[in-house]
């Protein structure tokens, strides 16, 4: 189970590209990378999951926590590049109604 997390920071914009699988084994690494970034005041975080082949509930938990931290610090949080399978996961759990998700990649993190 591997995960790769590439982060690009430019002023308040933080672009994160995640590749691999997000599960109980890799979620702690994702949390470790994203939580400090989510605590920056006014951060605009965009997470690209187009290269994520699998995600379970621990991955969802990480994104909920990051989303809450970003919002608590007056920032914006968006997830892009969701496969149909991942989009469905966000929809089933109701997170698609709370978190800004988009299957399309609009410039930025590639």
Instruction: Per-residue pLDDT tens, the chain, 110 aa: give them.
Output: 699 999 999 989 999 999 999 999 999 999 999 999 999 999 999 999 999 999 999 999 999 999 999 999 999 999 999 999 999 999 999 999 999 998 666 554 44
pLDDT in the model for residue 3 = 96
pLDDT in the model for residue 102 = 85
Half-sphere CA count of 95, side-chain side, radius 13 A: 22
From residue 65, give the alpha-carbon distance in Å to each of 10, 32, 71, 106: 22, 12, 10, 24
| Fold held by 3-102 | Transcription Regulator spoIIAA (3.30.750)
Alpha-carbon gap, residue 78 to 47, rounded angstroms: 6
pLDDT in the model for residue 67 = 98
Q: Which helix (H) or strand (E) holds 48?
A: strand 44-55
Domain residue limits, the chain: 3-102
pLDDT in the model for residue 47 = 97
pLDDT in the model for residue 1 = 64
Closest CA to 61 of 27, 25, 26, 87: 27
């Amino acid at each position: 189970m591997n995960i790769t997390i590439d982060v690009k920071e430019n002023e308040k914009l933080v672009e994160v590209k995640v590749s691999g699988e997000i599960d109980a084994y890799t979620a702690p690494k994702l949390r470790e990378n994203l939580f400090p970034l989510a605590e920056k005041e006014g951060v605009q975080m965009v997470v690209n999951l187009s290269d994520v082949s699998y995600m379970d509930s621990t991955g969802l938990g990480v994104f909920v926590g990051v989303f809450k931290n970003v919002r608590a610090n007056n920032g914006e949080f968006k997830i892009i590049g969701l496969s149909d399978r991942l989009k469905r996961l966000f929809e089933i759990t109701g997170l698609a109604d709370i978190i800004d998700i988009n299957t399309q990649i609009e410039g930025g993190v590639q």
